[in-house]
Structure 1
């Protein structure tokens, strides 16, 4: 999936790569061997819906070097549009594959995001699972625009191979693209709430629930406060169906 042969599909204005875990893993390997910074994003139905009202977010997603389709809603939408995606590539699972690659190549990581001390706990977990990975820096996600340059300078001081950004949408996507050419890294990836999972603060759904595409329901049961966010899924599918009807 080189830049000149990159195959993407348009879902409500967001360009998603037609890829799977294996192809995305190989692309990450190429990113590490190439010059320049590369950004990976993983939009789901909720993020694509947010991009409808946020042009800066949509531009950030479409400017990324790899845009992975995350969530069962995006997979269903691709089928509705007649261009079925190969598979759902969840952000957390691909992050773990990226960490496996980092371990294989003995790479360095910077963890940015989460509440104070969460990134550090996530870093400890990563080091226990991937002993060849070096955590060169951590910083929480609670900083304003006036402190952004300090965070960028901190990242540049450590020069990580991989920058994991867990600040949630749209902050993480916009931060990565806005500062892409100001920071020194090989790959930056937006990972949402993954540090909370790694640190043990949040538990993922059992594997069989993930396999049948109902992880969103499990998370809703465990965190009822997510009800408003989950409501984006049916609205997203209705909008996709309407879009196809109008354009057929």
Structure 2
């Protein structure tokens, strides 16, 4: 039975990184399809007025906190989240586990050329990792049909979708059965990081839960998005404390 907590009505699995990775390994071993969501405070706030997104998050097979703000917010819930389980780190840990084994991966998303560069880099980092295909995140309805057919033909164990939230979550929810992957994960801008186009925050920033601040000072154009963080904190204090 899943041990879960609720943050503004969004459910989160109360798992450590190691436990989340083990959960994915279990998913890969069974005969069902599964999708994983990695909400940060921005996505939690988006779900407050996007009923479709809220439904998708509530039906996901695994929901992990990709944001220290979500971990903080759990202190006002019955069950505490003990650590941040970032989507990027989750995928890296999965790669480490499946490299050299039969499981395979498909990269879908990012600007033209990013997914292929990310795939080459990940193969260097994890020798034996099977990345069977990829496609950028720019497509029309006709191209989308070809992408779905390509994924289905290559039959990856894991489908990583980097279309940005909530587009990637909605795409997975709509097309997972069609593409046939065992596990699908929305990974946001992770392909850019894997490709080396975007640097992650230094370890000290990540350890202190200040990765959001590093992104703000290195990408000041994100300030409008960052305004959701204080709004998230105030909403948690107002709503969660009432419970």
- Which TM-score bucket, shorter chain as reference? over 0.9
Coordinate RMSD, CA, aligned: 1.3
Bigger mean CA offset, 103-112 vs 184-193: 103-112
Distance 1:104 1:64, change over 3 A: farther
Q: Is the 8 A contact 2:5 2:77 kept in 1?
A: no
Matched, 1:102 2:98: yes
Select the residue among 19, 29, 32 that pairs with 1:23: 19
Matched, 1:138 2:134: yes
CA distance in 2 between partners of 1:114 and 1:45 (Å): 22
Bigger mean CA offset, 116-125 vs 14-23: 14-23
**How many aligned positions are there?**
243
Matched, 1:232 2:228: yes
* Cα distance per residue 1:185-233 (max 9 Å; x no partner): 1111111101001111100011111000000000111100110111111
Give the match for residue 113 of structure 1. 109
Shift of 1:104: 4.8
Q: Is the 8 A contact 1:115 1:140 kept in 2?
A: yes
Q: Is the 8 A contact 1:49 1:236 kept in 2?
A: yes
Q: Is the 8 A contact 1:106 1:132 kept in 2?
A: no
Select the residue among 175, 179, 190 that pairs with 1:179: 175
Q: Is the 8 A contact 2:4 2:79 kept in 1?
A: no
Shift of 1:49: 0.3
CA distance in 2 between partners of 1:25 and 1:112 (Å): 21
Q: Secondary structure at 1:179's aligned position in 2? A: helix
Matched, 1:63 2:55: no
Give the match for residue 38 of structure 1. 34
Give the match for residue 121 of structure 2. 125
Give the match for residue 163 of structure 2. 167
Distance 1:104 1:78, change over 3 A: farther
Q: Is the 8 A contact 2:41 2:69 kept in 1?
A: yes
Q: Secondary structure at 2:229's aligned position in 1? A: helix
Unaligned residue ranges in structure 1 (runs of 5+) = none
Shift of 1:145: 4.2
CA distance in 1 between partners of 2:102 and 2:129 (Å): 5
Unaligned residue ranges in structure 2 (runs of 5+) = none
Q: 4+ runs of 1 displaced by more than 2 Å? A: 80-83, 104-107, 144-150
Q: Please, what TM-score do these two structures have when normalized by structure 1?
A: 0.94
Select the residue among 56, 79, 85 that pairs with 2:81: 85
Q: Please, what TM-score do these two structures have when normalized by structure 2?
A: 0.96
Shift of 1:143: 1.7
CA distance in 1 between partners of 2:225 and 2:98 (Å): 32
Q: Is the 8 A contact 2:36 2:186 kept in 1?
A: yes
